[in-house]
Structure 1
Amino acid sequence: MEQYTFNKIEKDSEIPYGLLLLADETTEAIDQYIFKCNIYLLHNGTENIAVMALYKNNDTELEIKNIAVIESYRSKGIGSILMDKAKEIARDNHYEVLSVGTSDTGFQQIRFYEKNGFKKTGIRKDFFLENYPSPIYENGLQMRDMILLAHHITE
């Protein structure tokens, strides 16, 4: 059985852009939110295998701004481990809602969030057209809208 460790990185630590770029297109896009987030790393021994950035939207809502797993660890339950950790952090800090946004073309991501108890709550029309300088494609389709999902934290 693999031995994973999970920790929050210190504010003055180096930002793990290599991992964050697995889930976001550019460092410029990441820089729009990352300095206001708490960043968490999941390790297997000394190897960083996953990252999660959480942002406090308000006193009741914590948002997942970035979540990524390196390719060699995908489809092994690592994302669900991160989801459980995010829910635990939200619960321990008395948030009512854990939210996330993903591309309308991210069919696998949407299924993943729904499998982990998230429900669709809205759409940000033209988000990817307005916030990225060049078109971005996923699953052969141009990303346009952001799908918003939320998980309600229960004690």
Structure 2
Amino acid sequence: MSGFILNTMKAGSEIPYALLLLADETIEAIEKYIFKSDVYILNNGIQDIAVMALYKNSLTELEIKNMAVMENFRSQGIGSILIDKAKEIAAQHQFSSLLVGTSDTGLQQIRFYEKNGFVKKEIRKDFFTENYPFPIFENGMQMRDMIVLEFLIHHLSE
């Protein structure tokens, strides 16, 4: 991770909505999880270029609620750096699984997560039509269902 600095957002800091909105459609949606999430911001020494919000669903399950990389920094391995950090955090805190949800239309995102060891776990039917006040389109298709992917954490003691 040379040249990059990953910092945890401190309580009371300004929320990086511009970055978060790259992965979520509305501030209202972000505010449903952001205040109860641990937020990590990746800086390249000049500017903040990526963000990741981790939310504890339970004592055993950690979820990536938001992960975004500025467009001009994509396809450079930064997303995989963030995923590796999330796996490391999950293992350190004894979570048994790391989850992430993405739209059924997000074919590139699904491939990315699968490439990083995630497997499809469940489908949350009509998630995007029920949780957003307007239709959202991606890749020319309306987002409807959320695909939940899971990475199982293997601890050294196992």
Decide: shared fold, TM above 0.5. yes
What does residue 9 of structure 2 align with? 9
Q: Which amino acid aligns with 2:46?
A: T
Structure 1 segments (4+ residues) deviating >3 Å: none
Distance across 1 between alignment mates of 2:116 and 2:2:
22
What does residue 49 of structure 2 align with? 49
Asked whether the 8 Å contact 1:23–1:68 carries over to 2, the reply is yes
Asked whether the 8 Å contact 1:103–1:146 carries over to 2, the reply is yes
**TM-score with structure 1 setting the length:** 0.98
What does residue 33 of structure 2 align with? 33
What does residue 148 of structure 1 align with? 148
- For this pair of structures, how many residues does the alignment match? 155
Matched, 1:63 2:37: no
Q: Which amino acid aligns with 1:75?
A: S
Q: Map residues 4-153 of structure 1 onto 2, 5 A cutoff.
A: 4-153=4-153
Distance across 1 between alignment mates of 2:105 and 2:123:
12
Asked whether the 8 Å contact 1:2–1:44 carries over to 2, the reply is no
Could you tell me which runs of 5 or more consecutive residues in structure 2 were left unpaired when the two chains were aligned: none
Asked whether the 8 Å contact 1:3–1:44 carries over to 2, the reply is yes
State the Cα RMSD in Å.
1.0
Distance across 2 between alignment mates of 1:50 and 1:19:
7
Could you tell me which runs of 5 or more consecutive residues in structure 1 were left unpaired when the two chains were aligned: none
Query: What's the offset of the Cα at 1:11?
Result: 1.5
Distance across 1 between alignment mates of 2:92 and 2:33:
23
Distance across 1 between alignment mates of 2:124 and 2:146:
5
Query: What's the offset of the Cα at 1:2?
Result: 5.6
Query: What's the offset of the Cα at 1:7?
Result: 1.2
